[in-house]
Amino acid sequence: MIHAADMCDAERQIRQKVIMVVADETRFGTLSTGERIAVALVLERYDLLQRAWGRMLESVHRLGPLWTEAALRVQRQGWEEDPTS
């Protein structure tokens, strides 16, 4: 079971990393593997996904259910701004 607080935290982290990478793509390499996968998926950047982990389904499996759902929510809500503010 995924808790709302965990989901909000994951969404916040992903949104921050997406904004950071959009501003300066060279920082992509400084992210953890999970962060790189989430950012690549949110931005629909297959080239970044290949650098992060490789295969699409393996990447989603590596990300896990919480971060996969959080990345999907960030993409749907728009990563440009925090919807809670």
Q: 56-77 vs 33-42: helix axis angle to the nearest 10?
A: 60
Give domain limits for the chain: 4-77
Chain centre distance of CA 40: 7
Q: Is the pLDDT of residue 8 over 80?
A: yes
pLDDT number for residue 85:
55
Which amino acid belongs to residue 15? R
83 falls in which pLDDT band (50, 70, 90)?
Answer: low
Q: Is the pLDDT of residue 12 over 90?
A: yes
Cβ-based neighbours of 60, under 8 Å, separated by 6 or more: 37, 41, 68
**pLDDT tens figures, 43-79:** 999 999 988 787 899 999 999 999 999 999 999 999 8
